[in-house]
Structures are given as structure tokens and as C-alpha cells.
Structure 1
Amino acid sequence: MSLLMFVLALAQPTPAAVPGDRAAAIARRIADPDGGPIVVAHRGCHNPAPRHGLASVPENSPVALDQCVALGVDVMELDVRRTRDGHLVILHDASVDRTTDGHGKVADLTLAAVRALHLRDNEGGAGAAPTDARVPTLDEMLAQARGRIVLNLDVKDAIYAEVVAATERAGAAGRVIVKNAAGIGDPPLAALPSYDRVPFMPILSASDAAGSDLVAVMRRQDDGARRPLGYELPRMDAAQLPGVAAEAKRQRRRLWCNSLWDGFVRGMGGDVDALRDPQAVWGRMIAGGISMIQTDEPEALLRYLGRDERRPQ
């Protein structure tokens, strides 16, 4: 292999500069560990954003994507499942019960049956009103995101090859992030098919509750012919963060962490705490080496970062 071919094998797909292509610009910033904090909206921007006059909308929906673009969010996380007849749709749960006005497992329903349902508002549940929104397909969300926002595709079934193929058909392979769990026994995943065709990020999985081998997992994952974009942190003790952050800095990789619910770094707090005191939660995360934060409160995080200007959709 020539030196040029070897260097290319190590690189993540990096979109070329295209005027007005915000998604490509975000993807390049994510690939640069010095590119500043990245805001990730969990299942899209479904919570109200009162400073921008935006009401709640169904999670994992096209309008949740539009609201993320309006807020200036960098990445929308969405969940991909497969219908009985082989179509890729955007739903978090194995069943449609919580998020729609229907019932049944996604894997038991055809695309037509899923499309006949109405998404419930926000995070759904029996008390959430059905809306006019329908369950989108992955192809539709990839098309809607084009040039506007990066998508984190949370693949819920054993359908990674199909999901990656869909991104390639849409010309979006460089504007997505795909992840899967990686433990000490896993080979370097970023070099494996189909992970090797998209920006890939391992979700670190420790062998024990103390997270004693997280750094070793990172070193194992960075030892392949193609390197990961960064690492997603599991639930972990705050005492483990300095070592993990130092290894990420050494590798020049990003660290992704969730501030969802009670937060994934124990003792730092989660979204509810961050709404009261963003510096105590998001500020500590960033100071600790975390540069990608997934939240259900993207408007508040953007405001904390000084990036709360409304953008055209």
C-alpha cells in the first residue's frame, strides 16, 4: 500500500466544502477535536424552546429536525428500526405504543401500517395528544437533513449494513455518525464493514462497574487501520473522567457524553440540574474534556454556549 493510500485509510469521510452546506461544515468541525463544543439534540428538538417561540413537537419527527435547524443545533440523534417488510423507519421503541396512537411491534408491522399512525406530541405516552405528524422513513430524514444538520443514527436492530447503504444512496455518508458498543474484547470497530464507510464512534463498555478498563478499550479501538471519530462515554464515575479525557486528548479524539436524565457522569448532574445551573453541569463536562453533549434541552445548552441566535430553517 502506498503512503497516500495508507493515510486515506485512516481518515473519516470528510465532506467537501460546498457553499451553504451547513451539514458539511458541522461534520468538518466534529472531525476537528479543537472545533469547539458540539450540541446534540436527543431524538431531535422535541421539547418546547420558549426563547425561540417553539412549542413541543413529536420526537424523531421531521418537524423536530426543522426545529433543531432553527435553533442552530449541530447534530440530531434519531433512532432507526426495520418494519416487517424491510423498510427503515424512525422510531425509538420496539413497539409503536408510546410514541403513536397505534399498537404493536415495529418488526411485526408493514410500512403501510406504520405510516397510517399519528405521532404523539413530544415524548408520547398515553396522555400525549396525537398530532398530524406521521412516522418518517430514514430516506425521508436523510433527504430533509441534507445540507442542514448532521444526523446521529442510533441503530436499534441488526441492520447496520442497510442503514449505511441508505446513507450512501442519499449522498449523506459523510454527514452522519454511526455508533455501536465496544468492550475490551472487541476488535477495532471503525475498520469493519459497514462501519468503515461512515464516521464511526464506539460506545465505551467497561468490564466492571468501576470502569477500570475504559482507557484500554479506547486504545484497542484506536489500533485499527481506520480510526474512530471519538468515543461515547457510558454511565461512569466522575473519578474515571480525567483518565479517559487524557487518552482522548492523546489520540486527538472527541468525547461524547449524555446529560440526559440524571446525567451519565455520576455527580455532575443532568438536564434538570443544568437548567438551574448550566455551569455546574455543562460547564464541568466541557472543562473535564467532554466536547459533544447530548441533551433534551438544546435551547438552554446553546444559550449557555452563547449560540442562541435563531437561524433560518
Structure 2
Amino acid sequence: MRLLTTTLALFLVAAAPAGANTFRQRLYDPAAGVMVVAHRGCHAAAPAHGFPSTAPENSLEALRRCIDIGVDIVEADVRRTQDGALVIMHDPSVNRTTDGDGLVSTLTLAQFQALQLEGGDEAPPTLEAFLRAARGRVMVTLHLKGPFAAQAAEVARATDASDWVLFKARAKEAMSPIADQPLYRDVAFMPMVGEGAARNADQLGAVITQQASGARAIPAVETRGLRSRGFAAVRDAAGAARVRVWINTLRMSSWKSFLGLSGDRRALRDPDTSWGRLIDKGVTIIHTDHPAQLLGYLKSRRLSEGVTIASAGEASTSSTTHAAFVAPR
């Protein structure tokens, strides 16, 4: 039986089981509460936490806010400059989010660092600077906007941040476990699964079973716009493999297709019928543009502290269960 500790001052995170002295350990324990992922950092206003205005997305300011608020994981978008440096930027160009213009891929690192983020007073960060600022304080998941996973992993190792970084890639039917690739030897890896990952929805579960069968464990599976049958198949397979189910609530379109939900917009008005329903369906990681509000909701229902989980045909409960996590059936 595990005990929960209410504080981990070093990491500035929500309560986690005793012994889970890294974010990575909590990530790999699906009974360790619902986890919150901040989309491009904590850029939305969070007045209850002392942030009445917005911050630039993918900025160090947005990262620091996440640490102060207590977010579990920060999502960051990674691109490569003309001279091969990895930097944090969502769009192909810098036009929307900075005072400059042009494609990231046509700018040198010096030109990129001379820019200023709109709505802030800092330059867009490099991947190295971002990981150094996050290291030991919050996990980071990288959305790589190009084929440079190996380079990103080397940056993580060079900054002594490999314990705090989560990589991901699309998995498909009959694909061998991606986590076993040498590239991911010392970083966390999570497969992503969408409707096109298998011939039909019922086969999507087999994709997860295969990805979880390797020598290196996976902590979670990210679902990508799955409909009802596909989501159920993935959730059941994840439950049997004892891994988390990750879903994002950023947009409205995919939710109406299988749960009748409206994502973040609905959640801000009625979290029980959006975030709450997802949790009741078996989701334990939620990716959102409103992490502060989600954390407040989880705290109100004590869902960040521990959950009851069960794989198909068997039940297993945390000794500090405070919320019902619907067992995959």
C-alpha cells in the first residue's frame, strides 16, 4: 500500500504518492492521480494564482507560470533554425507570435534570438534554455515539428534533463515497440494513436498491446481524435497494460464525435460534463489550454491525489482513493 505526501516542495507539483520522487515515477503510475498538461505553457490568464493577464505561448514566462501553478507537464513545440539549432516555436513562421517575420527554418539562431515575443519582454527560447528552466521543476513533453528526435534527445541529455522529458510518436498496427529504439533509451516515450493506426477501430487496442509489450515500459498512450469504438478499444488495452490514457480538450470537433463533449469551452462552463466525463471514461492525463482551471477542478474533486483503477477483469485500488476512475470494461 502506498501513502500520499501532500507536499513536494522541490518539484512544486500536486500531491503524489510517497516514493514518487520524480515526475517520471508519477507519470508511470496510473494510480497516482489525474495529471494536467499545459498546452504551449500556461499562457492563459489565471487570476486565482496571481496572473491576471495572458503570457506569450511557448515562452519561459509561460513555463514559469506552470511551475508556480503546479502543472504536471508542459507541452512545447520544437523547430529547427537554418543553422541547426532547436528552438521553441509552434508555427512554421515567427510572424504570429513575435515582432519579426520569416520561417524559422530560414533564420539563423542569432536572428531567432534577436526577436521578441508578442505580449512579453523576452526572446523566444531555445530548447536548451527551456529544458534548463524546467529541469527538476516540471515535466516537458515535446511536440517535434520535424524529424529531429535524436537531436532533441541529445539536448535533453546535455542539459541533464532526460528524466523530465516525454517524447512521443505515432504508432501503427504491426509496428514493433517504439520505446525500445535506442533513441529513447533513457527518456520517457509515449505512443500516439489515431483512427488511421489500424484497419478498424477494434484493432486499435492491439496497437497499444504491442507498444506496451517491449522491454522498456511506456507510461501512457495519447489518443488522437478517436471515435467511441476506437477510444474504448484503446482505453481497455491501456488499462490491461497498466498505462495512462492521455487526451486533449483543446478543440471542440473531436469531442462531439464520441462523448458529446465540447472540450475546453464547455469545461470552463461545466467541468463535470467535459473534464469530469473524460475522467469517468478512464482518462488520467488531460491536455488543456486552461491548466489552472483544470487543476482547481481536480482539487475540488480530489482527483489529483489518487484513483481507483482496474484492468479488464480485475480491480486494484490505491490506499488513498478519493475518486472513481471507471475501470475499462
User: Please, what TM-score do these two structures have when normalized by structure 2?
Assistant: 0.81
Tell me by how many angstroms 1:212 deviates: 3.7
1:53 to 40, 50, 55: 50
The alignment partner of 1:179 has SS state of strand
Tell me by how many angstroms 1:151 deviates: 0.5
Aligned residue number for residue 311 of structure 1 = none
Aligned residue number for residue 297 of structure 1 = 290
Tell me by how many angstroms 1:263 deviates: 6.1
CA distance in 2, matches of 1:211, 1:88: 36
Please tell me the residue identity of whatever aligns with 2:276: G
- Are 2:169 and 1:159 equivalent residues in the alignment? no
Aligned residue number for residue 241 of structure 1 = 231
CA distance in 1, matches of 2:201, 2:104: 34
Tell me by how many angstroms 1:240 deviates: 3.2
Tell me by how many angstroms 1:307 deviates: 6.9
1:281 to 265, 271, 274: 274
- Are 2:144 and 1:146 equivalent residues in the alignment? no
CA distance in 1, matches of 2:161, 2:218: 18
- Are 2:264 and 1:271 equivalent residues in the alignment? yes
The alignment partner of 1:233 has SS state of strand
1:35 to 32, 35, 38: 32
The alignment partner of 1:245 has SS state of helix
Contact 2:195/2:226 (<8 A) preserved: no
Cα 1:213–1:20 change in 2 (3 A) is: same
Tell me by how many angstroms 1:206 deviates: 3.1
- Cα RMSD (Å) of the superposition? 2.0
Aligned residue number for residue 7 of structure 1 = none
Q: How does 1:209-228 map to 2 (within 5 A)?
A: 211-228=201-218
Count of aligned residue pairs for this structure pair: 282
1:76 to 58, 74, 77: 74
Contact 2:36/2:287 (<8 A) preserved: yes
Tell me by how many angstroms 1:157 deviates: 1.2
CA distance in 2, matches of 1:32, 1:115: 38
Contact 2:82/2:106 (<8 A) preserved: yes
Contact 1:238/1:268 (<8 A) preserved: no
Unpaired segments ≥5 residues, structure 2: 1-7, 14-20, 302-329
The alignment partner of 1:120 has SS state of coil
Contact 2:29/2:219 (<8 A) preserved: no
Aligned residue number for residue 320 of structure 2 = none
Contact 1:72/1:307 (<8 A) preserved: no
CA distance in 2, matches of 1:168, 1:307: 37
Tell me by how many angstroms 1:250 deviates: 0.6
- Are 2:235 and 1:232 equivalent residues in the alignment? no
Q: How does 1:84-163 map to 2 (within 5 A)?
A: 84-121=82-119, 131-163=120-152
Q: Deviations over 1:122-167 (max 9, x none)?
A: xxxxxxxxx3221101111111112211111111111111100111
Tell me by how many angstroms 1:304 deviates: 0.5
Identity of aligned residues (%): 41
Unpaired segments ≥5 residues, structure 1: 1-17, 122-130, 309-313
The alignment partner of 2:91 has SS state of coil
Tell me by how many angstroms 1:188 deviates: 1.1
Aligned residue number for residue 26 of structure 1 = 23
Tell me by how many angstroms 1:21 deviates: 4.1
Please tell me the residue identity of whatever aligns with 2:294: L
Q: Deviations over 1:179-221 (max 9, x none)?
A: 0111114221111131233100011133369634211211221
